Amino acid sequence: MRALRSVLPPLVVVVALLVMWHAVVVLWKVPRYLLPSPLVVFEAAWQDRARMLAATMQTTIASVGGFALATAIGVLVGSLLGASRALQRGFYPLALLLQMVPLVAIAPLLVLWFGYGLRSTIASACIVAVFPVLASTLDGLRGTDPGLQEIFRIHRAGRLTRWWKLELPSSLPSIVTGCRVAAGLSVIGAVVGEFVSGYAGDQAPLGIVIVSGMRETRTDLVFAAVALSACAGFLLFAIVSALGWLLLRRWHASAVTED
Amino acid sequence: MSVRGVSVRFGAAEALASASIDVAPGEFVAIVGDSGGGKTTLLRAIGGLLPVAAGAIGFAEAGGAVMRPGPRDIGFCFQEGRLLPWRSVLANVALPLELEGVPREERLRAAASMLDRMRLGGVERRMPAELSGGMRMRVAMARALVTRPRLLLLDEPFGALDEVTRQALDDELLALVRASGATAILVTHSIQEAVALADRVLVLRGRPGVSQPPIAVPLAARDEAARLSVGFASLCAQVQAALRGGRAA
């Protein structure tokens, strides 16, 4: 019943929007190359299902790879910056600046460094996903309860012990939030990277399906690829949220009150 | 335990002007005083959490020297409990031993037996968030006692609890401290609590605080009846008077 109550409203909204979209296309006789109706999009995707499935797989692999890398780098670098005020002052603005560089601008460089294909797209997914993890790690570390720090100080716990047994677990709720944002972003990063660095061919990722769909005015396939990448992003987000909930459910308010 | 002419500064501000007291092994001393008078500051200085600007703190050794207590010698219990919310009750109680490098089996056994002694065996696997405030404080007390410290430092441990729970926990605390043989120093804003628990009460007067001659509490029994006796009331009045700076009425 509770599951139904949380799934039903968005489902109703999505179905209603699809119906409206279809109605607009039919009533105004919009040509297919401008805006195909959802039925046409679905049909096109179904006909090309082997290719679409492979493309979705490729993009998902790149996203998951980039996300995992971003989580590892973000937590590690965030912890290093959190350990030292001086490091933080020196490097945090730099990290912020890097975050401001448009991904599209560096994507060609990634091809130069990592070649065409998966390695480049993982790198580009990682680049957009790393900052939220880093920032949330830093936030979490700085928010560690000074009272709990004192307990560890009383027993003269070393820097590493404090990080592993106190600061990192206490940052976990914040890190999980950062990872949730990063999960969605990593798919965006992967698709943008694929525009530039993706392989064409029968293992082409969604980014390439979109680019070649535009070139061949197969707008229906473009829409299908966009919808599939959104689904991949949503799925990744849902999985990360669920993992976060499992980690936090017994002690943190954000998990206890979640429905 | 010897505290001699201790003062503490935070930058330019003096938080504690001068405090002295000699605490005998196994004695229970309560510290009361105006808020901002340095009660908690004194306790934290005793625990080694604050550097002292002047004076000396330590266990009195033969020949008049004082020795700083080590981390295992001291059990700390704070008002907020300060349990790690991501750890079970058992793992929380075992934490001080863990930080002191005691092997896993041994520290879990020690924590479990401490919890059993406090009749908390049933909540070992629970998380702090699942416990009531009074329960959490008892777990914090178990954690403070798990290293079998020579000195127990209590910073308004039950200040956030309701009166009934607090009195029950006071009784339990007293029994535990006596059974462990530890010296206990309690900071409290409640004169009644100080007189009910302590062998002697140290009054810090003024801001920053200056310690007054300790007031002995010669109560034979520490039960409900004792708390209602005339002697108890007059002791409270005596402490109150010392706080105000006048003579006992």
A164 to chain B, any CB pair closer than 8 A? The answer is no
Say if residue B120 is in the same domain as residue B157: no
Quote the percentage of chain A above a pLDDT of 70. Answer: 97
Report pLDDT digits (tens) over A95-123: 888 888 888 888 889 999 998 889 999 99
Say if residue B37 is in the same domain as residue B48: yes
Radius of gyration, alpha carbons of chain B: 18
What is the total count of domains within chain B?
2
Distances (CA, A) of A95 to A8, A92, A99: 41, 5, 6
B85 to chain A, any CB pair closer than 8 A? The answer is yes
Mean pLDDT by 10 residues, chain B (249 residues): 72 72 85 80 83 76 69 84 93 94 93 90 89 90 91 86 84 86 88 84 78 74 75 77 63
Say if residue B201 is in the same domain as residue B233: yes
Best residue in A175, A250, A254, A256 for a mutation probing chain B (most B CBs within 10 Å): A250
pTM of the shown model: 0.84
Say if residue B46 is in the same domain as residue B138: no
Among all residues of chain A, which has the CA nearest to that of B49? Answer: A154
Say if residue B233 is in the same domain as residue B219: yes
pLDDT of residue A255: 60
Give the gap in angstroms from C-alpha B84 to the nearest C-alpha of chain A: 7
The answer as to whether B18 is a domain residue is no
Range of the domain at B90: 83-149
The answer as to whether B7 is a domain residue is no
The answer as to whether B4 is a domain residue is no
The answer as to whether B189 is a domain residue is yes
The answer as to whether B210 is a domain residue is yes
Among the partner residues A155, A165, A253, nearest to B100 by beta-carbon distance: A155
Say if residue B138 is in the same domain as residue B173: no
- Among B129, B149, B169, where does a domain finish? B149
- Among B107, B131, B149, where does a domain finish? B149
Say if residue B121 is in the same domain as residue B48: no
Say if residue B127 is in the same domain as residue B156: no
A153 to chain B, any CB pair closer than 8 A? The answer is yes
The answer as to whether B68 is a domain residue is no
- Alpha carbons A206 and A213: distance in angstroms, whole number: 10
Say if residue B39 is in the same domain as residue B154: yes
- Alpha carbons A18 and A230: distance in angstroms, whole number: 15
Report pLDDT digits (tens) over A142-160: 999 999 999 998 888 889 9
Q: Quick one: pLDDT band at residue A259, thresholds 50, 70, 90?
A: very low
- Among B127, B149, B171, where does a domain finish? B149
The answer as to whether B224 is a domain residue is yes
- Alpha carbons A71 and B157: distance in angstroms, whole number: 40
The answer as to whether B10 is a domain residue is no
Say if residue B164 is in the same domain as residue B94: no
Q: Quick one: pLDDT band at residue A258, thresholds 50, 70, 90?
A: very low
CATH number of the domain that residue B234 is part of: 3.40.50.300
Dig out the tokens for B99 from the structure. Answer: 């930080």
Say if residue B136 is in the same domain as residue B166: no
Tell me what the pLDDT averaged over chain A comes to.
90
Furthest C-alpha separation in chain A: 75
The answer to whether A158 and A105 are in contact (CB under 8 A) is: no
The complex's ipTM works out to 0.83
Among the partner residues A148, A251, A252, nearest to B82 by beta-carbon distance: A148
The answer to whether B58 and B68 are in contact (CB under 8 A) is: yes
A159 to chain B, any CB pair closer than 8 A? The answer is no
pLDDT of residue B11: 66
Say if residue B139 is in the same domain as residue B162: no
Q: Which residues of B11-39 are buried (b: 16+ CB within 10 A; e: fewer)?
A: eeebbbbbbbbebeeebbbbbbbbeebbb
